[in-house]
Chain A
Amino acid sequence: MTEPRYAVGVDLGTTHIAMAAVDLTQPDQVDTFEVAQLVAPGQVESRPLLPSFLYFGHSEETGLGLPWDAARSFAVGELARIRGVEAPNRLVCSAKSWLSHTGIDRRAGVLPVGAPEDVERVSPVEASWRYLDHLAECWEAERSRGDESLALAAQEVIITVPASFDAAARDLTVEAAYAAGMENVTLLEEPQAALYAWIEAAGDQWRRHVRPGDVVLVIDVGGGTTDLSAIAAVESDGMLELHRVAVGDHILLGGDNMDLALAHGLRARLETDGKKLDRWQLGSLTHAARAAKEAILTRSELDQVPVVVPSRGSELLGASLRTELTRAETERVLLEGFCPEVESSARPATRARTGLTQLGLPYAADAAITRHLADFLTRQSAAARDLPGLENASASKSILCPTAVLFNGGVLKSDLLRGRLLSVLNRWLEAAGASPVRELPGTNLDLAVARGAAYYAMVRRGRGLRIHGGTARAYYVGIESPMPAVPGVEPPLTALCVAPFGMEEGTETKLPPQELGIVVGEPVRFRFFGSTVRRDDSAGTELLSWDASELEELAPIEITLPAEGRPDGEMVPIHLRASVTPVGTLLLEAVPLSPVKPDECWKIELSVREQA
């Protein structure tokens, strides 16, 4: 393989995708790469953001052709988003959330959900690779133009994933990138990318803002997800080091929820006036509500903004619906609904699992970002205690005390929301006896993650400060203890730690002493757990009991041992060995105690479907 000419950062977001590149021959400049996409039937335009939507055209549909593929029958991007409102059952959206959904087979064609017979079904993995493939095609048309050494597949590609993505979701993201032909792929956590982007934008000034002893809380609220991370700055041998010390849970809650909440309020008002809205009009209303919200948030002189839902027919006058969005209403919905003033002891409400659930995404049951934040800081109260010089951050026993905040994501362009988050946070800190946080001056919140990812390629080449972190979870295999069957009583479960917290890229654990028995030739499943808070368990630690909030059950793992000359049905004792690949994915392998060939081991499948 030839040396890549470019390093390309891809922010593969839930609602938008962005891309930035560094020319490695002039590695001081990060350029945003505009993505060509259909914006209307037969109309192609390059835009900084590619909406993460995949639309499958009907056989009668034209206008989906691209300059490089006239016969294209599906669309990615802005047109897909627009057509998806008009014909929703042919649209794939939120593929990334499906990719991290442990309740489904993520390689099975389940999307679009509820699509008619004539629509091609794709898996969450394939949807992701179609997006990446689109980026590769745009890159080809714009940059490489037939020069294979410049094709995106031949470049160093850094794809960002939420810090909260578990090992299986990371694996699947890499699988999608491989399917799109990308071979030189590295994963990077989005909040880290946001901090790298900030460092890049701040230039030499950044060390004035971040000093040893700081803990930077990264609050990333995107269109569909909220991602939290804490990154600590420590001094080691006179040098500044950055350590990502904690990540939050995967929260499906974002800016789209806010626009929908405003739109529902407006719809209720229109409906009390006796006006009915159909689905198309609700879509327009959401769109208009977003525009009105942005006007109110950016222009302090406006107290209300008229919201007009245009008629669907060609007669604009007489058939349009008109209402108003007021400042009071916007502030009430956004602040009280999404950022209420709560105590640091508050916890997000959880939805009770019902027996019968429709195939759907596990949206956050609690819309209050502040409650999710309180939960994160409380659970991670001990995150910084082992690092030197972080007395401030560990001042309180009850919460982790950040000293600085970096906001990311389009939603947080709003001063109102940032201000509320800061004031709530500072109240908690005051109660905990810590100093208030400072806000790190912002960058372009839409494009920061992609730019930070491209910048990371330079950091890997030693041109900047690297954030250390390793895996953000410890991983455990559930082992049922043998006991006589008692109806109605589940056999006790032991959790065996196979991968400790904070494993760095390119490292592996030494074999834990425990042996597991695997039957040759048939798939054997184990329950699999992750923990973002148990930092001290090493490979081989056995947990006989644990707090329900400490361990989160993930999709099960599956081991199939090929016979290799062993008789079928034989029980083979194995060890489990964990390592973190240079790509940034977790690799679990089964190593037999008595190998039949040198270095015999088998990869363990991380993303299999949960059994009903």
Chain B
Amino acid sequence: MAESPSFFSRVWLSWVCSLRVLFDAEFARRVQIARSTTASLPAAAPASRRRAKAKARRAPARLKDEDDATAQKPAAQTAALREQARRAAALQLLGLLQREGRLIDFLQQDIAKFDDAEIGAAARVVHAGCRKALAEHAEIGPVRTEPEGERITIESVDPAAIKLTGDVKGAPPYSGVLRHRGWRAASLKLPTAVADHDLSVLAPAEVEL
């Protein structure tokens, strides 16, 4: 039977899972099911013959069980882990936008001394890349589908999705001009980060040999 993961693998697993629970509705659903049915789950089956063979061919796993003494303060770490997961997701997004669309390069450069043609050329790289990254990882759609500038009536206000401006008063239904249609991320799916990969490196330095 497969061994249970070590404490540190579990620490790792817990923040990866919390990330996915946040951003992957399907995964969250499965976790829910797993939570309610853990008792009836069969024990993990032994690794297949083929996999055992494949493992023998490869180098031994780098993830080693850490000293148990250091693994005895789980409660204190929960909050820190949650914080770490939030930070990891943000770093992943920055890394993704840099990788696909050179966003960090663009924002870190002083553009004051360049003319619009040069900025335009660079903007195309950033736009094309970031747009592709966004399209592949998030489903983004408008909050309201009516054309901007049109007068619309709102029956009830979800304060997070609709912001009232101007002569704000009274009770619903409200009638007003749609100034900005808003954006909503219907889903966001970031890549899964593999253990002990340093996400704070948004782009590695490149040295050509």
Q: Interface residues, chain A, CB within 8 Å of chain B?
A: 36, 38-45, 62-63, 65-67, 69-73, 86, 133, 136, 140, 145-148, 151, 153, 180-181, 291, 306, 308, 310, 312, 314-318, 320, 322
A71, B197: Cβ atoms under 8 Å? no
28 examples of A-B residue contacts, CB within 8 angstroms: A40-B99, A43-B191, A43-B193, A45-B191, A65-B62, A65-B197, A70-B61, A70-B62, A70-B63, A70-B194, A70-B196, A71-B61, A86-B206, A136-B50, A140-B48, A146-B2, A146-B47, A151-B48, A153-B48, A306-B121, A308-B122, A310-B125, A314-B109, A316-B122, A316-B125, A316-B126, A320-B122, A320-B125
Cβ–Cβ contact B61 & A317, under 8 A: no
Q: Is the CB of A320 within 8 A of B194?
A: no
B128, A291: Cβ atoms closer than 8 Å: yes
Contact indicator A71/B50 (Cβ below 8 Å): no
- Kindly state the separation between the CA atoms of A161 and B57 in the bound complex, as whole angstroms: 28
Find chain A residues with CB under 8 A from B119 CB: 317
CB–CB A39/B191 < 8 A: yes
Instruction: Kindly list chain A residues whose C-beta atoms are within 8 Å of the C-beta of B102.
Output: 310, 316
Q: A145 contacts which chain B residues (CB < 8 A)?
A: 44
Task: Given A42-B193, A73-B59, A308-B121, output 11 extra A-B contacts at Cβ < 8 Å.
Answer: A36-B192, A40-B95, A45-B192, A65-B197, A67-B192, A69-B58, A71-B59, A148-B48, A180-B50, A316-B105, A316-B125
A320–B121 touching, CB < 8 Å? yes
B94 to chain A, nearest CB (A): 12
Beta-carbon nearest neighbor of B107 in chain A: A316
List A contacts of B194 (CB < 8 A).
38, 42-44, 63, 65-67, 70
Complex A-B, nearest 10 residue pairs according to Cβ-Cβ distance, in ascending order: A42-B197, A181-B50, A43-B191, A45-B191, A146-B45, A322-B121, A71-B62, A316-B105, A44-B192, A146-B44
Cβ of B124 and Cβ of A306 under 8 Å apart? Answer: yes
A310: nearest chain-B partner, CB-CB: B125
* Nearest CB on A from B159, distance (A): 34
Residues A65 and B44 in contact in the complex (CB < 8 Å), given A70-B62, A136-B50 = no
From A62, A86, A317, name the one whose CB has the most chain B CB atoms within 10 angstroms: A317
Task: List residues of chain B with CB within 8 A of the CB of A65.
Answer: 62, 194-195, 197
Q: Bound state CA distance, A41 and B106, in angstroms?
A: 22
Q: Give Cα A306 to B124, complex, Å.
A: 8
Could you mark each residue 69-105 of chain B with 1 if its beta carbon is under 8 Å from any beta carbon of chain A, else 0? Answer: 0000000000000000000000010011001001001
Q: What is the CA–CA distance of A311 and B198 in the complex, to the nearest angstrom?
A: 25
B154 within 8 A of A: no
State in angstroms the CA–CA spacing of A317 and B196 once bound together.
34
Q: Is B118 an interface residue (CB 8 A)?
A: yes
Interface string of B162-198 (1 = CB under 8 A from A): 0000000000000000000000000000011111111
B51 at the interface (CB under 8 A from A): yes
Kindly list chain A residues whose C-beta atoms are within 8 Å of the C-beta of B58: 69, 71-73
Partner pick for B197 among A45, A63, A316, CB 8 A cutoff? A63
- Bound complex: CA A45 to CA B184 (Å): 23
Report how many A-B pairs have Cβ atoms within 8 Å: 120
What is the chain B residue whose CB lies nearest that of A86? B206
For residue B13, give the distance in angstroms from its CB to the closest CB of chain A.
10
Shortest CB–CB separation between residue A431 and chain B, in angstroms?
44
Cβ of B191: which chain A residues have Cβ within 8 Å of it? 39-40, 43-45
Report the separation of the CA atoms of residues A535 and B191 in the bound assembly, to the nearest whole angstrom: 53
> Residue of A at shortest CB range from B47?
A146
Contact-residue size bin, chain B (C-beta under 8 Å from the other chain): 35 or more
Nearest-neighbor residue (CB-CB) of B198 within chain A: A42
Query: Whole-angstrom distance from the CB of B109 to the nearest CB of chain A?
Result: 6
CB distance from A358 to the nearest CB of B (A): 24
With A42-B193, A69-B61: A318-B50 Cβ-Cβ less than 8 Å: no
Give chain B residues whose Cβ lies under 8 Å from the Cβ of A308: 121-122, 124-125
**How near does chain B come to A83, taking the closest CB pair, in angstroms?**
12
Residue of B at shortest CB range from A180? Answer: B50
A365 to B189, CA, bound (A): 44
Are A316 and B44 touching (Cβ within 8 A)? no
Do A62 and B197 touch (CB < 8 A)?
A: yes
**Which B residues touch A133, using CB under 8 A?**
54
Cβ of B152 within 8 Å of any chain A Cβ, yes or no, is no
Q: A65-B62, A314-B105, A320-B122 are in contact. Are A70 and B195 (CB under 8 A)?
A: yes
Task: Assess whether A315 is in contact with B105, with CB atoms less than 8 Å apart.
Answer: yes
Complex Cα distance, B105 from A314, in Å, reads 5
A146 to B96, CA, bound (A): 32
B111 in the interface (beta carbon within 8 A) = yes
Residues in B whose Cβ lies below 8 Å from that of A146:
2, 44-47
Docked CA distance A74–B75 (Å): 37
Residues of B within 8 A of A45 (CB): 191-192
* CB nearest to A314 among chain B residues: B105
Residues of chain A with a CB closer than 8 A to B61's CB: 69-71
B108 touches A (CB below 8 Å): yes
Q: Within the complex, what minimum Cβ distance (angstroms) separates A513 from chain B?
A: 45
Interface residues in B25-71 (C-beta closer than 8 Å to A): 44-51, 53-55, 58-63
Contact A147 B62 (CB under 8 A): no
* Cα distance A153–B52 in the bound complex, in angstroms: 13
For B45, list chain A residues within 8 Å (CB). Answer: 146-148
Query: Do B63 and A43 touch across chains, with their CB atoms under 8 A apart?
Result: no
**Which residues does chain A contribute within 8 Å of B47, judged by CB atoms?**
146
Which residues of A are found within 8 Å of B95, using beta-carbon distances? 40, 43
Given A66-B194, A316-B106, A317-B118, residue A140 in contact with residue B51 (CB < 8 A): yes
Tell me how far the C-beta of A151 lies from the nearest C-beta in chain B, rounded to whole angstroms. Answer: 5
B105 shortest CB reach to chain A, Å: 4
Instruction: Tell me the complex Cα distance, A337–B3, Å.
Output: 59
A86 to B126, CA, bound (A): 21
Which of A41, A42, A62 gathers the greatest number of chain B CB atoms within 10 Å? A42
Closest chain B residue, CB of each to CB of A37: B191
Residue of chain B at shortest CB distance from A312: B206
- Docked Cα-Cα span, A236 to B45, in Å, equals 50
CB-CB under 8 A from A70, the residues of chain B are 61-63, 194-196
Nearest CB in chain B: distance from A119 CB, A: 14
In whole angstroms, how far apart are the Cα atoms of A68 and B191 in the complex? Answer: 15
Contacts of A63 in B (CB 8 A): 194, 197
| A317 in contact with B192 (CB, 8 Å) | no
Which residue of B is nearest A74, CB measured?
B58
What residues of chain A lie closer than 8 Å to B203, measured between beta carbons? 314
Chain A residues within 8 Å of B106, by CB? 316-317
Closest Cβ of chain B: how far from A15's Cβ, in Å? 19
Cα(A180)–Cα(B53), bound, Å: 10
Q: How far is the CA of A73 from the CA of B61 in the complex (A)?
A: 11
CA distance A39 to B46 in the complex (A): 30
Q: Which residue of B lies closest to A150 (CB)?
A: B45
Q: Give the residue name and chain of the A residue nearest to B44 (CB).
A: A146
Residues of the B chain whose Cβ atoms lie less than 8 Å from the Cβ of A71: 58-62
B33 to chain A, nearest CB (A): 14
What separation, in Å, do the CA atoms of A151 and B54 have in the docked complex? 14
Taking CB atoms, residues of chain A closer than 8 Å to B51 are 140, 151
The answer to whether A41 touches B197 (Cβ under 8 A) is: yes
Q: Which residues of B contact A43 (CB under 8 A)?
A: 92, 95-96, 191-194, 197
Given A63-B197, A151-B48, A317:B63 Cβ within 8 A = no
Q: Which residues of A contact B196 (CB under 8 A)?
A: 70
Q: Given that A63-B194, A67-B192, A316-B125 are known contacts, is A153 also in contact with B63, CB under 8 Å in the complex?
A: no
Interfacial chain A residues near B48, Cβ < 8 Å: 140, 148, 151, 153, 181
